[in-house]
Amino acid sequence: MSGSNNNEAARDFFSRNAERYAKSDSHAHGSDLPALISHIPLSERESALDVATGTGFTALELAKIVPHVCGVDTTYHMLGQARLLLRREGMDNVCLCLSDASHLPFADQTFDAITCRRAAHHFADKAAFLLESRRCLRSGGYIGISDMVAPEGFEGTYNNFERARDSSHFFAENSRKWESILSSCGFGVTFSEVKEERVTFSRWLYPVEESGPEGKKCREFLEHSDESFRRAIGYRNDEHTFIKRRMVIVASV
């Protein structure tokens, strides 16, 4: 799928599911969020940007620490949910706007910190996103990324599994690849960790319905996948659970 087609697929998927993402306990309270926030020295920062802000959970946490925050996303309905969240929480130091991750509408050296949580697997060109982020960061600035990672040696199968759930999923790298891409884009990694969470099949699917066509396709995929792949994701057939891995990585300019 080309980058432009993937953007359209992502907008369609997230427009349909915006309200459900706004209610997602995993997105609101997942352990990767405090890990991401705590490993960026935000108390010393004046401004921060959250790329692919979605329904605003990361922007909200940034706004509790940083005086000026901006959140960008390609999906109007997701930004609408973010506005509702920020209004409920009484946060008036966050601006929200429509923007693609690889074409940020900001001047050079605008921000002290940039975050991107649970979204980069939708980006067709991760290097373009990182180079744009580097352009927008001030000297000494930080970028923090949290995203799903594929088990090494099973990247192809794992990404096909994720695409069965969400056709706008582009590619989840492994953590070593992320470190390499960051380095090639001029960043120095200051923190890197892979967090594991055992999830039920239905929790992983959310907001997709288990009884819907995507849910059935994913169940079929698991049942017909190689035993080696099921071992790689720690699949337990009796519990219908497996391990979801997320990387938290922070780097500086």
- Measured CA to CA, the distance from residue 209 to residue 113 in angstroms comes to 36
Phi and psi at residue 46, in whole multiples of 5°?
Answer: -100, -30
Sign of CA dihedral 144, 150, 156, 161: negative
pLDDT at 57 over 80: yes
Q: Is residue 208 part of a domain?
A: no
Q: Is residue 211 part of a domain?
A: no
Give the residue numbers spanning the domain of 129: 3-150+168-198+243-252
pLDDT at 2 over 50: no
Q: What is the CATH number of the domain that holds 247?
A: 3.40.50.150
pLDDT in tens, 199-251: 999 999 999 999 999 999 999 999 999 999 999 999 999 999 999 999 999 99
Phi-psi region at 27: left, alpha or beta (left = phi > 0; alpha = psi -120 to 50): alpha
Q: Is residue 128 part of a domain?
A: yes
Q: Is residue 214 part of a domain?
A: no
pLDDT-based confidence at 197, cuts 50/70/90?
very high
When divided into structural domains, the chain yields a total of: 1
State which H helix or E strand residue 144 sits in: strand 137-148
- When the pLDDT of each residue in the chain is averaged and rounded to a whole number, the result is 95
